[in-house]
Structure 1
Amino acid sequence: MREAKRVVVKVGSSSITHTSGGINHEALTELVGVLAERRHAGKEVLLVSSGAISAGMGQLGMPTRPTELPQAQAAAAVGQGQLMSAYSLLFQGLGLTMGQVLLTTEDVTRRATYLNGRSTLQTLLEFGAVPVINENDTVATQEIRFGDNDRLAALVAHLVDADALILLSDVDALYDGPPSREGTSRIPFVADVAAMDDVEIGGTGSGVGTGGMRTKVDAARIATAAGIPTMLTSMPNARHALLGEQVGTAFAPTGRRRSARRLWLAHATHPAGRLVLDDGAVEAVRTKGRSLLHAGVIEAQGRFLAGDAVDLADRHGHVFARGLVNYDVSDVHRAMGRTTRDLSDAIGPAFERSLVHRDHLVLLP
């Protein structure tokens, strides 16, 4: 963490806003000060910040975080401007420029838009600015939402080739049980997130956020699988975490960086349907790295269109891959189980393409 040239820092709503809504300016000032120190030391920092909905709650007279999407989007529309204005003034006071970047999953699952997003972030960093990133809550539909900024932060860390990811929460570390329960202990180091089945992890967040410890562990799994070391700690420990001190919980990288396209496909898409494959097709896709052809499909579920993400499952229902399908579901029903030559002769050359090409397919754990 201390030597990392480029770090993505994520902060949750509960760390920078009040429970009743509104910005916690004291906490925000502290956070910006820590990030500015890092930037003035010659290191690059990107901030993924929650808090827009909570910031707008008070202005709209909402006593608690709205659960309905239209109300949440209205609060975000009011709060996003307030939050970015506060960030801008604080960074400006410390001699830095911040740039707002709002994303939805559609922005990072379409090749043209995620390449453009990466270019924008890179250019901001080249100009010495601090990108402040949030999900575009005001326009994202339920189907295209990240759902939490922890996962967004992990994806952004991969997108910009970050050297490290820090997740700031209202809890100072991951514990081997509920932190309030007597006898629980801090877990200082996790060598492999996949080996944490015996750890009791809570799943709910604060009253003003959407995450919780589960989403942070999931974000750590995404980042470390892509070769990015991750630190989980509380906001008061942000400076210590950036200095590489022994705080919070450190997650070691377990994999190597994969193509951004495949990472988006695995973690930033919501499948619109499912294709059930016969045994031969499962082996061809999973073991031999081949594209999926119509002949290997025994069932098509959902209402997907060409270009949508679909899950690939074996005949027992186990989902083992996800890919972008080249045909509408109606066409799949006409063509499944038939060979490419048969389809070309009977229907036409439009069916000579693979159903899911291997370049647009990723295996899932």
Structure 2
Amino acid sequence: MNRPPRSGPTGEPALRTDVLTARRIVVKVGSSSLTTASGGLDSDRVDALVDVLSRSRTTDTEVVLVSSGAIAAGLAPLGLTERPRDLARQQAAACVGQGLLVARYTASFARHGLRVGQVLLTADDISRRAHYRNAYRALAQVLAMGAVPVVNENDTVATAEIRFGDNDRLAALVAHLVRADLLVLLSDVDGLYDGDPRRPGSRRLREIRGGQDLVGVEIGSAGSSGVGTGGMVTKVEAARIATDAGIPVVLTAARHAADALAGRETGTFFHRTGERSADHLLWLEHASSPRGTVRLTPPAARAVLQRRGPLLADGVTHADGDFVAGDPVELLDENGRVVARGLAGLDARELPRLQGRSTREVVHQDDLVPLVRPAPSGDGAPAPAPARVRVRIRTAAEYARAGTAPDRPGD
């Protein structure tokens, strides 16, 4: 249920406390908010955004900018009239456009005496644990030295198999990576609506406190610019990743960025639904690439879901894959359903002689993430956890199978 805006003592709408107290903020802006419809950067839009971010950045408030726009910025210089669908030309456009994008940000932030640090990531940098830690150290150092990190997917080298698909997911993962207090998603739509925002009668949802507030809500593609990669679905998925990790989210239009960062009740505010988890657990749940599967006995599956202890070899019936100790693996119940994810404590080649009869530890309990909730009685099939929506990096092939290509219009 969406509540009316709260009012302060003067009758004005109350400010959002979680926004006002945020000390590290990740702001994501989409291509359509930075470029013209035909491609090419809109300097006035970039400067307007930078003016807002620079005012929000103080001695005790840090800002990380996740910016789309590299491919869109490269269209006009290469004589392209629309975003290409083939990967090779997307990479070429990104190669030209990324330099233009960072040069524009560098000049714009320089007007406020601020330096810019470019950070380009691929899904590999998030899905591999060692790379994940390296990305954190790099971003932390850029912030510590007083620069503004400008993060984007490295479209020039990313292949179809290792792409994020959209920068909304990237922004949610970066928000957890840098231990942000707030994520702001800037779009070309001023919030989440209960239906198509272009349809008369559709109502903007002011607050989302959990999955129950999304029941019956039609969530579709949000943009119409033809230069971006996402849509409202990816923004809601990104909000779920962030809020599940204890990070509140504001979703609004880029033109309302100043109001959003001032704590005013613009757009849609997603309240945090979980607590901040250990870095490696969020990585494990949302960004890791499993290197194998381990099938469990019914008692072992129930114990894993109820977090009653580590997974031992005597609870394993079969293992597939060529994983080594430290690799992420998916844990399956006796019916082959994925019930959890964990970090292997043994190499795959060690398991055949141990499974079913050894008490050697296969996955430590601190390295386990249940992906479903156990049945109330402890028997029967587990059910999907209602309050935890898991979103992982999708490849281009997975988008194609789902019928939602990653290069559709939007942000």
Q: Using structure 1 for the length normalisation, give the TM-score.
A: 0.87
| SS across alignment from 1:63 | coil
Partner of residue 186, structure 2: 168
Deviations 1:45-73 (A, max 9, x none): 11011111111222333332233333322
2:341 pairs, out of 319, 322, 327, with 322
Partner of residue 109, structure 2: 91
Partner of residue 381, structure 2: none
Check whether the contact 1:194–1:221 (CA below 8 A) recurs between aligned residues: no
**Cα distance in 2 between the residues matched to 1:171 and 1:42:** 30
2:244 pairs, out of 222, 225, 233, with 225
Partner of residue 300, structure 2: 281
Change (3 A) 1:187 1:122: same
| SS across alignment from 2:170 | helix
Check whether the contact 2:127–2:289 (CA below 8 A) recurs between aligned residues: no
Partner of residue 347, structure 1: none
Partner of residue 148, structure 1: 166
Question: 1:158: how far off?
Answer: 1.5
2:34 pairs, out of 3, 13, 16, with 16
Question: 1:337: how far off?
Answer: 4.6
Partner of residue 29, structure 1: 47
| SS across alignment from 1:59 | helix
- Amino acid of the residue matched to residue 131 of structure 1? P
Check whether the contact 2:189–2:222 (CA below 8 A) recurs between aligned residues: no
Partner of residue 88, structure 2: 70
| SS across alignment from 1:57 | helix
Q: What is the alpha-carbon root mean square deviation over aligned residues?
A: 2.5
Partner of residue 134, structure 1: 152
- Amino acid of the residue matched to residue 287 of structure 1? Q
**Cα distance in 1 between the residues matched to 2:329 and 2:86:** 27
Q: Which moved more, 1:65-74 or 1:6-15?
A: 65-74
Q: Which moved more, 1:317-326 or 1:119-128?
A: 317-326
Change (3 A) 1:85 1:335: farther
Q: Which moved more, 1:221-230 or 1:281-290?
A: 281-290
Structure that is richer in helix per residue: 1
- Amino acid of the residue matched to residue 46 of structure 1? V
Question: 1:305: how far off?
Answer: 3.6
**Cα distance in 1 between the residues matched to 2:160 and 2:312:** 31
| SS across alignment from 1:340 | coil
Matched, 1:362 2:369: yes
**Cα distance in 2 between the residues matched to 1:293 and 1:19:** 57
Matched, 1:185 2:203: yes
**Cα distance in 1 between the residues matched to 2:88 and 2:318:** 36
**Cα distance in 1 between the residues matched to 2:316 and 2:223:** 40
**Cα distance in 2 between the residues matched to 1:273 and 1:65:** 36
Change (3 A) 1:132 1:38: same
| SS across alignment from 2:204 | coil
Change (3 A) 1:255 1:29: same
Question: 1:304: how far off?
Answer: 5.0
Matched, 1:269 2:288: yes
Partner of residue 257, structure 1: 276
Partner of residue 79, structure 2: 61
1:122 pairs, out of 140, 144, 149, with 140
Change (3 A) 1:17 1:289: farther
Matched, 1:216 2:235: yes
| Gapped regions of structure 1 (runs ≥ 5) | 342-351
| SS across alignment from 1:46 | strand
| SS across alignment from 2:125 | helix
Question: 1:317: how far off?
Answer: 4.2
| SS across alignment from 1:58 | helix
Aligned length: 352
Deviations 1:248-296 (A, max 9, x none): 0001111110011111111112445543333122112211343334443
| SS across alignment from 2:78 | coil
Q: Using structure 2 for the length normalisation, give the TM-score.
A: 0.78
Using CA pairs under 8 Å that are at least 6 residues apart, name the structure with larger relative contact order, 1 or 2.
Answer: 2
Question: 1:84: how far off?
Answer: 0.6
Change (3 A) 1:82 1:149: same
Deviations 1:73-101 (A, max 9, x none): 22212211111111111111221111111
**Cα distance in 1 between the residues matched to 2:87 and 2:345:** 31
Question: 1:205: how far off?
Answer: 4.8
Change (3 A) 1:205 1:121: same
**Cα distance in 2 between the residues matched to 1:305 and 1:194:** 38
| Gapped regions of structure 2 (runs ≥ 5) | 1-18, 372-384, 386-411
Deviations 1:173-199 (A, max 9, x none): 100111111211000011114642321
2:330 pairs, out of 284, 289, 311, with 311
**Cα distance in 1 between the residues matched to 2:330 and 2:223:** 29
Deviations 1:113-160 (A, max 9, x none): 323322222222222211111122222233332222111111111122
Check whether the contact 2:307–2:365 (CA below 8 A) recurs between aligned residues: no
**Cα distance in 2 between the residues matched to 1:61 and 1:295:** 63
